[in-house]
Protein backbone atom coordinates (compact mmCIF):
# COMPACT_ATOMS: atom_id res chain seq x y z
CA UNK A 1 0.00 0.00 0.00
CA UNK A 2 1.30 3.48 -0.85
CA UNK A 3 2.19 5.62 2.16
CA UNK A 4 -0.16 8.38 0.97
CA UNK A 5 -3.19 6.10 1.40
CA UNK A 6 -2.25 4.62 4.79
CA UNK A 7 -4.44 5.57 7.75
CA UNK A 8 -2.33 5.61 10.90
CA UNK A 9 -2.49 7.19 14.31
CA UNK A 10 -1.94 7.09 18.05
CA UNK A 11 -4.38 5.27 20.34
CA UNK A 12 -4.72 6.27 23.97
CA UNK A 13 -7.21 7.49 26.52
CA UNK A 14 -6.01 11.05 27.16
CA UNK A 15 -3.44 12.17 24.62
CA UNK A 16 -3.22 15.95 25.06
CA UNK A 17 -0.25 17.43 23.23
CA UNK A 18 1.64 14.74 21.31
CA UNK A 19 4.78 14.99 19.19
CA UNK A 20 3.88 11.80 17.33
CA UNK A 21 2.03 13.44 14.39
CA UNK A 22 5.00 15.76 13.74
CA UNK A 23 7.48 12.89 13.94
CA UNK A 24 5.52 10.65 11.58
CA UNK A 25 5.00 13.56 9.19
CA UNK A 26 8.78 13.77 8.84
CA UNK A 27 9.12 9.99 8.42
CA UNK A 28 6.44 9.38 5.78
CA UNK A 29 3.48 10.95 4.01
CA UNK A 30 0.60 8.99 5.53
CA UNK A 31 -2.30 10.38 7.54
CA UNK A 32 -1.60 10.24 11.28
CA UNK A 33 -4.44 11.01 13.70
CA UNK A 34 -4.92 11.00 17.46
CA UNK A 35 -7.52 8.48 18.67
CA UNK A 36 -8.70 9.16 22.21
CA UNK A 37 -10.90 6.24 23.29
CA UNK A 38 -12.57 5.29 26.53
CA UNK A 39 -12.18 1.63 27.61
CA UNK A 40 -15.73 0.77 26.53
CA UNK A 41 -14.98 2.12 23.04
CA UNK A 42 -11.80 0.13 22.52
CA UNK A 43 -13.16 -3.14 21.14
CA UNK A 44 -15.45 -1.46 18.63
CA UNK A 45 -12.62 0.76 17.41
CA UNK A 46 -10.11 -2.07 17.01
CA UNK A 47 -12.64 -4.13 15.04
CA UNK A 48 -13.83 -1.18 12.95
CA UNK A 49 -11.24 -1.32 10.21
CA UNK A 50 -10.87 2.47 10.14
CA UNK A 51 -7.09 2.34 10.52
CA UNK A 52 -4.16 0.55 8.87
CA UNK A 53 -1.54 1.12 11.57
CA UNK A 54 -1.57 2.28 15.18
CA UNK A 55 0.82 3.30 17.87
CA UNK A 56 -0.59 2.46 21.30
CA UNK A 57 0.12 4.36 24.50
CA UNK A 58 -1.06 4.17 28.11
CA UNK A 59 -3.31 2.72 29.37
CA UNK A 60 -3.88 0.29 26.48
CA UNK A 61 -0.52 -1.39 25.78
CA UNK A 62 -1.63 -4.58 27.53
CA UNK A 63 -5.35 -4.20 26.88
CA UNK A 64 -4.96 -4.52 23.10
CA UNK A 65 -3.10 -7.84 23.23
CA UNK A 66 -6.20 -10.12 23.08
CA UNK A 67 -7.28 -8.37 19.86
CA UNK A 68 -4.02 -9.21 18.08
CA UNK A 69 -3.97 -12.47 16.10
CA UNK A 70 -0.17 -12.52 16.28
CA UNK A 71 2.50 -10.86 18.42
CA UNK A 72 6.14 -10.17 17.71
CA UNK A 73 8.67 -11.98 19.88
CA UNK A 74 9.57 -8.70 21.59
CA UNK A 75 5.95 -7.81 22.36
CA UNK A 76 5.38 -11.28 23.78
CA UNK A 77 8.53 -11.13 25.92
CA UNK A 78 7.75 -7.70 27.36
CA UNK A 79 4.01 -8.29 27.61
CA UNK A 80 3.08 -5.01 25.93
CA UNK A 81 2.10 -3.85 22.44
CA UNK A 82 2.76 -0.33 21.21
CA UNK A 83 2.40 -0.96 17.46
CA UNK A 84 -0.53 -2.55 15.61
CA UNK A 85 -0.68 -3.31 11.89
CA UNK A 86 -3.86 -4.39 10.13
CA UNK A 87 -2.94 -7.22 7.78
CA UNK A 88 -4.53 -7.83 4.34
CA UNK A 89 -6.91 -10.41 5.81
CA UNK A 90 -8.15 -7.88 8.38
CA UNK A 91 -6.45 -9.46 11.40
CA UNK A 92 -4.19 -7.44 13.67
CA UNK A 93 -0.45 -7.93 14.27
CA UNK A 94 0.97 -6.53 17.48
CA UNK A 95 4.57 -5.44 17.94
CA UNK A 96 6.71 -3.54 20.41
CA UNK A 97 9.03 -0.85 19.09
CA UNK A 98 9.64 0.73 22.51
CA UNK A 99 12.42 -1.81 23.06
CA UNK A 100 14.16 -0.65 19.89
CA UNK A 101 13.65 2.96 20.98
CA UNK A 102 15.16 2.36 24.40
CA UNK A 103 18.13 0.49 22.94
CA UNK A 104 18.84 3.47 20.67
CA UNK A 105 18.53 5.77 23.69
CA UNK A 106 21.16 3.73 25.55
CA UNK A 107 23.47 3.81 22.55
CA UNK A 108 23.07 7.57 22.13
CA UNK A 109 24.16 8.15 25.74
CA UNK A 110 27.40 6.25 25.24
CA UNK A 111 26.65 4.07 28.27
CA UNK A 112 28.36 0.68 28.42
CA UNK A 113 25.80 -1.84 29.66
CA UNK A 114 27.52 -5.21 29.33
CA UNK A 115 28.65 -6.53 32.70
CA UNK A 116 27.18 -3.56 34.61
CA UNK A 117 24.62 -3.31 37.39
CA UNK A 118 21.54 -1.28 36.45
CA UNK A 119 18.90 0.21 38.73
CA UNK A 120 15.50 0.84 37.11
CA UNK A 121 13.20 3.24 38.97
CA UNK A 122 9.54 2.38 38.43
CA UNK A 123 7.66 -0.85 37.79
CA UNK A 124 5.26 0.06 34.97
CA UNK A 125 5.31 -0.61 31.24
CA UNK A 126 8.35 1.56 30.51
CA UNK A 127 10.19 -0.27 33.28
CA UNK A 128 9.44 -3.65 31.68
CA UNK A 129 10.86 -2.36 28.40
CA UNK A 130 14.01 -1.03 30.05
CA UNK A 131 14.55 -4.28 31.96
CA UNK A 132 14.19 -6.34 28.79
CA UNK A 133 16.63 -4.21 26.81
CA UNK A 134 19.21 -3.97 29.57
CA UNK A 135 19.25 -7.75 29.93
CA UNK A 136 19.46 -8.18 26.16
CA UNK A 137 22.44 -5.82 26.17
CA UNK A 138 24.25 -7.94 28.74
CA UNK A 139 23.73 -6.15 32.04
CA UNK A 140 25.20 -8.13 34.94
CA UNK A 141 22.22 -7.35 37.18
CA UNK A 142 18.99 -5.42 36.70
CA UNK A 143 17.19 -4.30 39.86
CA UNK A 144 13.75 -2.69 39.86
CA UNK A 145 13.06 -0.06 42.50
CA UNK A 146 9.42 0.47 43.42
CA UNK A 147 7.56 2.04 46.33
CA UNK A 148 7.10 -1.26 48.11
CA UNK A 149 8.73 -4.67 48.24
CA UNK A 150 12.22 -6.08 48.65
CA UNK A 151 13.86 -3.33 46.61
CA UNK A 152 12.29 0.01 47.49
CA UNK A 153 13.31 3.61 47.95
CA UNK A 154 13.74 2.83 51.65
CA UNK A 155 16.71 0.48 51.16
CA UNK A 156 18.69 2.02 48.30
CA UNK A 157 21.91 1.77 50.32
CA UNK A 158 22.12 -1.92 49.43
CA UNK A 159 22.60 -0.84 45.80
CA UNK A 160 25.50 1.58 46.25
CA UNK A 161 27.38 -0.39 43.58
CA UNK A 162 24.90 0.66 40.86
CA UNK A 163 26.57 1.74 37.61
CA UNK A 164 23.55 2.66 35.46
CA UNK A 165 20.39 4.42 36.70
CA UNK A 166 17.22 4.53 34.63
CA UNK A 167 14.15 6.59 35.49
CA UNK A 168 10.97 5.11 34.00
CA UNK A 169 8.61 6.94 36.37
CA UNK A 170 6.79 10.20 35.50
CA UNK A 171 8.59 11.95 38.37
CA UNK A 172 10.02 15.22 37.07
CA UNK A 173 7.71 15.37 34.04
CA UNK A 174 5.93 18.63 33.21
CA UNK A 175 4.07 20.18 34.97
CA UNK A 176 5.55 18.63 38.13
CA UNK A 177 9.12 19.60 37.37
CA UNK A 178 11.96 20.23 39.80
CA UNK A 179 11.73 16.82 41.49
CA UNK A 180 13.68 13.60 41.02
CA UNK A 181 12.96 10.00 42.00
CA UNK A 182 16.37 9.70 43.66
CA UNK A 183 19.53 11.49 44.74
CA UNK A 184 22.12 10.18 42.28
CA UNK A 185 25.03 11.14 44.54
CA UNK A 186 24.11 8.08 46.63
CA UNK A 187 25.73 5.88 43.99
CA UNK A 188 29.51 6.49 43.93
CA UNK A 189 30.10 4.03 41.08
CA UNK A 190 27.42 5.49 38.82
CA UNK A 191 28.48 5.95 35.19
CA UNK A 192 25.26 6.79 33.36
CA UNK A 193 21.75 8.12 33.99
CA UNK A 194 18.90 7.64 31.50
CA UNK A 195 15.46 9.25 31.77
CA UNK A 196 12.50 8.23 29.59
CA UNK A 197 10.95 11.65 30.32
CA UNK A 198 11.57 14.24 27.58
CA UNK A 199 9.43 17.17 28.76
CA UNK A 200 11.31 18.95 30.19
CA UNK A 201 14.41 18.04 28.23
CA UNK A 202 16.62 18.31 31.32
CA UNK A 203 14.78 16.91 34.33
CA UNK A 204 16.19 17.32 37.81
CA UNK A 205 17.36 13.71 37.49
CA UNK A 206 19.40 14.62 34.39
CA UNK A 207 20.57 17.97 35.72
CA UNK A 208 22.09 16.14 38.67
CA UNK A 209 23.66 13.62 36.29
CA UNK A 210 25.15 16.53 34.36
CA UNK A 211 26.61 18.03 37.55
CA UNK A 212 28.12 14.65 38.41
CA UNK A 213 29.68 14.35 34.95
CA UNK A 214 27.73 11.20 34.04
CA UNK A 215 26.76 9.94 30.60
CA UNK A 216 23.10 10.77 30.17
CA UNK A 217 20.15 11.05 27.79
CA UNK A 218 16.48 11.99 27.93
CA UNK A 219 13.59 10.14 26.33
CA UNK A 220 13.13 12.22 23.17
CA UNK A 221 15.40 10.07 21.02
CA UNK A 222 13.57 6.97 22.30
CA UNK A 223 10.27 8.52 21.18
CA UNK A 224 11.65 9.25 17.71
CA UNK A 225 13.38 5.88 17.36
CA UNK A 226 10.29 3.85 18.30
CA UNK A 227 8.26 5.94 15.84
CA UNK A 228 10.78 5.21 13.09
CA UNK A 229 10.55 1.47 13.82
CA UNK A 230 6.74 1.64 13.85
CA UNK A 231 6.81 3.49 10.55
CA UNK A 232 8.83 0.64 9.08
CA UNK A 233 6.16 -1.78 10.29
CA UNK A 234 3.40 0.34 8.76
CA UNK A 235 5.18 0.73 5.41
CA UNK A 236 6.82 -2.68 5.23
CA UNK A 237 10.11 -1.11 4.21
CA UNK A 238 13.28 0.10 6.01
CA UNK A 239 14.07 3.69 6.98
CA UNK A 240 17.65 4.86 7.51
CA UNK A 241 18.70 5.12 11.16
CA UNK A 242 20.20 8.54 10.39
CA UNK A 243 16.66 9.93 10.27
CA UNK A 244 16.39 9.39 14.04
CA UNK A 245 19.17 11.84 14.84
CA UNK A 246 17.98 14.42 12.32
CA UNK A 247 14.39 14.44 13.61
CA UNK A 248 15.51 14.44 17.26
CA UNK A 249 17.76 17.41 16.57
CA UNK A 250 14.94 19.33 14.87
CA UNK A 251 12.50 18.62 17.72
CA UNK A 252 15.07 19.58 20.35
CA UNK A 253 15.67 22.91 18.64
CA UNK A 254 11.91 23.47 18.46
CA UNK A 255 11.39 22.66 22.15
CA UNK A 256 14.38 24.43 23.71
CA UNK A 257 14.06 27.84 25.32
CA UNK A 258 16.71 30.56 25.25
CA UNK A 259 17.02 32.02 28.75
CA UNK A 260 18.75 35.35 29.39
CA UNK A 261 20.03 36.29 32.84
CA UNK A 262 22.09 39.24 33.99
CA UNK A 263 22.19 42.40 36.04
CA UNK A 264 19.42 44.98 35.83
CA UNK A 265 20.43 47.24 32.97
CA UNK A 266 22.53 44.57 31.23
CA UNK A 267 20.40 44.72 28.07
CA UNK A 268 18.31 41.59 28.49
CA UNK A 269 15.10 43.19 27.19
CA UNK A 270 16.67 44.76 24.09
CA UNK A 271 18.81 41.72 23.31
CA UNK A 272 15.87 39.41 23.97
CA UNK A 273 13.60 41.28 21.56
CA UNK A 274 16.22 41.33 18.79
CA UNK A 275 17.17 37.71 19.40
CA UNK A 276 13.54 36.56 19.29
CA UNK A 277 13.09 38.32 15.96
CA UNK A 278 16.24 36.76 14.49
CA UNK A 279 15.28 33.27 15.70
CA UNK A 280 11.60 33.59 14.80
CA UNK A 281 10.67 32.77 18.40
CA UNK A 282 8.24 34.45 20.80
CA UNK A 283 9.63 36.56 23.66
CA UNK A 284 8.46 36.66 27.27
CA UNK A 285 9.85 38.71 30.15
CA UNK A 286 9.38 37.43 33.67
CA UNK A 287 9.13 40.95 35.10
CA UNK A 288 6.36 41.79 32.62
CA UNK A 289 4.60 38.54 33.54
CA UNK A 290 4.61 39.61 37.21
CA UNK A 291 3.19 43.01 36.32
CA UNK A 292 0.49 41.46 34.14
CA UNK A 293 -0.56 38.95 36.79
CA UNK A 294 -0.59 41.34 39.75
CA UNK A 295 -1.77 44.45 37.91
CA UNK A 296 0.92 46.42 39.77
CA UNK A 297 4.31 47.86 38.93
CA UNK A 298 7.42 46.22 40.34
CA UNK A 299 8.44 49.35 42.33
CA UNK A 300 4.96 49.33 43.87
CA UNK A 301 5.25 45.66 44.88
CA UNK A 302 8.64 46.33 46.47
CA UNK A 303 7.37 49.44 48.27
CA UNK A 304 4.09 48.01 49.53
CA UNK A 305 4.80 44.31 50.07
CA UNK A 306 8.59 44.00 50.16
CA UNK A 307 11.14 42.10 48.11
CA UNK A 308 10.07 38.65 49.42
CA UNK A 309 6.58 39.11 47.97
CA UNK A 310 8.05 40.05 44.60
CA UNK A 311 10.36 37.02 44.64
CA UNK A 312 7.38 34.71 45.17
CA UNK A 313 5.63 36.22 42.16
CA UNK A 314 8.88 35.95 40.19
CA UNK A 315 9.13 32.21 40.89
CA UNK A 316 5.54 31.73 39.75
CA UNK A 317 6.39 33.64 36.56
CA UNK A 318 9.47 31.45 36.01
CA UNK A 319 7.26 28.36 36.20
CA UNK A 320 4.84 29.77 33.64
CA UNK A 321 7.68 30.78 31.33
CA UNK A 322 9.38 27.39 31.62
CA UNK A 323 6.15 25.70 30.50
CA UNK A 324 6.58 27.34 27.09
CA UNK A 325 8.54 25.82 24.23
CA UNK A 326 10.84 27.47 21.71
CA UNK A 327 10.70 30.82 23.53
CA UNK A 328 13.23 33.53 24.38
CA UNK A 329 12.86 34.19 28.13
CA UNK A 330 14.27 37.45 29.48
CA UNK A 331 14.49 37.35 33.26
CA UNK A 332 14.74 39.88 36.04
CA UNK A 333 18.16 40.60 37.49
CA UNK A 334 17.45 38.77 40.75
CA UNK A 335 16.07 35.57 39.24
CA UNK A 336 19.28 33.78 40.29
CA UNK A 337 18.68 34.48 44.00
CA UNK A 338 16.36 31.47 44.29
CA UNK A 339 17.97 28.18 43.18
CA UNK A 340 14.53 26.77 42.38
CA UNK A 341 14.07 29.45 39.71
CA UNK A 342 17.19 28.39 37.85
CA UNK A 343 16.36 24.71 38.24
CA UNK A 344 12.94 25.36 36.70
CA UNK A 345 14.29 27.42 33.81
CA UNK A 346 17.43 25.44 32.97
CA UNK A 347 15.36 22.26 32.69
CA UNK A 348 13.71 23.64 29.56
CA UNK A 349 16.51 25.43 27.77
CA UNK A 350 19.95 26.97 27.76
CA UNK A 351 20.92 29.83 30.07
CA UNK A 352 23.00 32.74 28.76
CA UNK A 353 24.52 35.30 31.14
CA UNK A 354 24.71 38.76 29.55
CA UNK A 355 27.70 40.18 31.38
CA UNK A 356 27.74 43.96 31.07
CA UNK A 357 30.48 46.04 32.68
CA UNK A 358 29.00 47.49 35.91
CA UNK A 359 30.55 50.85 35.03
CA UNK A 360 28.39 50.96 31.92
CA UNK A 361 25.31 49.95 33.91
CA UNK A 362 26.03 52.69 36.44
CA UNK A 363 26.06 55.26 33.66
CA UNK A 364 22.58 54.33 32.38
CA UNK A 365 19.14 55.43 33.55
CA UNK A 366 18.40 53.55 36.80
CA UNK A 367 14.86 54.79 37.47
CA UNK A 368 12.26 52.06 37.92
CA UNK A 369 14.81 49.55 39.23
CA UNK A 370 14.14 49.29 42.98
CA UNK A 371 17.35 47.52 43.91
CA UNK A 372 19.49 50.07 42.09
CA UNK A 373 17.89 53.06 43.79
CA UNK A 374 21.04 53.60 45.85
CA UNK A 375 22.88 55.04 42.86
CA UNK A 376 26.20 54.08 41.26
CA UNK A 377 27.69 52.49 44.38
CA UNK A 378 24.67 50.21 44.66
CA UNK A 379 25.32 48.89 41.12
CA UNK A 380 28.86 47.80 42.01
CA UNK A 381 27.75 46.24 45.30
CA UNK A 382 24.96 44.28 43.63
CA UNK A 383 27.29 43.12 40.85
CA UNK A 384 29.83 41.82 43.38
CA UNK A 385 27.08 40.03 45.32
CA UNK A 386 25.60 38.31 42.27
CA UNK A 387 28.40 37.70 39.78
CA UNK A 388 29.24 34.22 41.07
CA UNK A 389 25.59 33.18 40.91
CA UNK A 390 25.25 34.40 37.32
CA UNK A 391 28.32 32.41 36.34
CA UNK A 392 27.18 29.38 38.28
CA UNK A 393 23.82 29.06 36.56
CA UNK A 394 24.80 30.07 33.02
CA UNK A 395 25.76 27.57 30.35
CA UNK A 396 27.42 30.44 28.49
CA UNK A 397 28.69 33.88 29.52
CA UNK A 398 28.33 36.50 26.80
CA UNK A 399 29.87 39.99 27.07
CA UNK A 400 27.03 42.50 26.76
CA UNK A 401 28.28 45.31 24.54
CA UNK A 402 26.09 46.67 21.75
CA UNK A 403 22.75 45.01 21.09
CA UNK A 404 23.81 43.80 17.63
CA UNK A 405 27.12 42.36 18.82
CA UNK A 406 25.53 40.64 21.81
CA UNK A 407 22.74 39.16 19.70
CA UNK A 408 25.27 37.85 17.18
CA UNK A 409 27.27 36.21 19.98
CA UNK A 410 24.22 34.54 21.56
CA UNK A 411 22.91 33.47 18.16
CA UNK A 412 26.20 31.77 17.31
CA UNK A 413 26.05 29.82 20.59
CA UNK A 414 22.40 28.85 20.06
CA UNK A 415 23.17 27.47 16.62
CA UNK A 416 26.29 25.72 17.84
CA UNK A 417 24.25 24.05 20.56
CA UNK A 418 21.73 22.85 17.97
CA UNK A 419 24.54 21.39 15.89
CA UNK A 420 25.89 19.53 18.92
CA UNK A 421 22.47 18.04 19.62
| Packing angle of the helix pair 298-305, 286-294 (nearest 10 deg) | 70
Residue 18 CB burial class (10 angstroms; 0-12, 13-18, ≥19)? middle
- 216-227 per-position pLDDT tens digit: 999 999 999 999
Fold match flag (3-95+223-245 vs 256-420): yes
- CA–CA separation, 278 and 411 (whole Å): 8
Could you confirm whether domain 256-420 is CATH 3.90.1150.10? no
- pLDDT tens string, the chain, 421 residues long: the values are 456 689 999 999 988 778 899 899 999 989 899 999 999 999 999 999 899 999 999 899 999 999 999 999 999 999 999 999 999 999 999 999 999 999 999 999 999 999 999 999 998 889 999 999 999 999 999 999 998 888 999 989 999 999 999 999 999 887 777 789 999 999 999 999 999 998 888 899 999 999 999 999 999 999 999 999 999 999 999 999 999 999 998 888 888 899 999 999 899 999 999 999 999 999 999 999 999 999 999 999 999 999 999 999 999 999 999 888 889 999 999 999 999 999 889 888 899 999 999 988 887 765 555 555 666 788 889 999 999 999 999 999 999 999 999 999 999 998 876 543 3
The structural domains of the chain, with segments of one domain joined by +, span 3-95+223-245, 100-218, 256-420
61 tagged catalytic: yes
Q: Measured between alpha carbons, how far is 390 from 331 in angstroms, rounded to an integer?
A: 12
pLDDT digits (tens, 9 = 90+) for 152-200: 999 899 999 999 999 999 998 877 777 899 999 999 999 999 999 988 8
Question: Does domain 3-95+223-245 sit in CATH 3.40.50.10860?
Answer: yes
Write the CATH number of the domain with boundaries 100-218. 3.40.50.720
The active-site residue, picked from 37, 61, 249, 293, is: 61
Amino acid sequence: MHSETLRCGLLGRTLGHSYSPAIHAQLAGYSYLLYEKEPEELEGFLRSGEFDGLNVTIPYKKTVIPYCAELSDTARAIGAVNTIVRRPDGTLWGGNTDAYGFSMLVQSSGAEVRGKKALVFGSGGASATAQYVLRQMGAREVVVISRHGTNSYENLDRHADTEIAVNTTPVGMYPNTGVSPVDLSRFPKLEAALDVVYNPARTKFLLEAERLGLKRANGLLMLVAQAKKSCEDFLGEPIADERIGAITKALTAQMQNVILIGMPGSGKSCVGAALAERLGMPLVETDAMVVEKTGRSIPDIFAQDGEAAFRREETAAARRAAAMEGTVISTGGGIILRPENMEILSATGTVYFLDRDPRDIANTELDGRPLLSGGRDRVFLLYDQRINLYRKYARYTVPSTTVDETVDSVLALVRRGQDVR
